[in-house]
Amino acid sequence: MSNNTASLPPVLEKLVQKLKRQSDPKRRYELLIWLAQKLEPIADQLKVPDNRVPGCTSQVFISARLEDGKIYYTGDADAQIVKGLVTLLVQGLSGLPSQDILAVDPAFIQDSGLNISLSPSRANGFYNILQMMKQKAALLDQAADLAS
């Protein structure tokens, strides 16, 4: 097995390792549901088309803000498993500079074992959520560069 977690941000790596230790797909789902319960609710005014993740079967919203050179995310989903995936990424990527977020290799999904546990549509949605978070980080970084 490859080790794609070596260059992951510390919080994301810790969450991936927790998932990786669960050999039973049911236990991974339970962990995702537990994570979903930890997600801070997103404000209703942030549930706008610009924050909706395209290509997800569930309704997923991701919002990002830049604060002191670091990106902070909030998110929500209307399905518990997907909400757990959102929580994984929100917790794992918030508080990082955009270049660290942009450097995250999506191959960590295989290392976590989620690619085996998730249906193809959920796995694709997970990639779409990560891609949107990266896009938002790049846009916030670009806006900050223009403002300075």
Kindly write down the DSSP assignment for every residue of 50-84, as one continuous string: GGBPTT-SS-EEEEEEEETTEEEEEEEESSHHHHH
Angle, vertex CA 47, rays to CA 46 and CA 51, nearest 5: 80
Q: How many residues does the chain have?
A: 148
Instruction: Exactly one of 12, 15, 19, 56 is catalytic; name it.
Output: 56
Domain count, the chain: 1
Inside any domain, residue 2: no
For the stretch 54-108, pLDDT in tens is 988 889 999 999 999 999 999 999 999 999 999 999 999 999 999 999 999 998 9
Query: Could you tell me which of 34, 41, 81, 32 has the C-alpha nearest to residue 61?
Result: 41
Distance in angstroms (rounded) separating the CA atoms of residues 67 and 92 = 17
Inside any domain, residue 134: yes
Q: How confident is the model at residue 143 (pLDDT cuts 50, 70, 90)?
A: confident
Inside any domain, residue 107: yes
For the stretch 6-18, pLDDT in tens is 579 999 999 999 9
Query: Could you tell me which of 141, 45, 51 has the C-alpha nearest to residue 100?
Result: 141
Report whether 24 contacts 100 (CB < 8 A). no
State which residues form the domain around 56: 10-147
User: How distant is the alpha carbon of residue 105 from its chain centre?
Assistant: 12
CATH code, domain carrying 55: 3.90.1010.10
Helical residues (DSSP H) of the chain, grouped into ranges: 10-20, 25-36, 80-93, 98-102, 108-112, 114-117, 120-147
Decide if 56 is catalytic. Answer: yes
Inside any domain, residue 50: yes
Tell me the pTM: 0.91
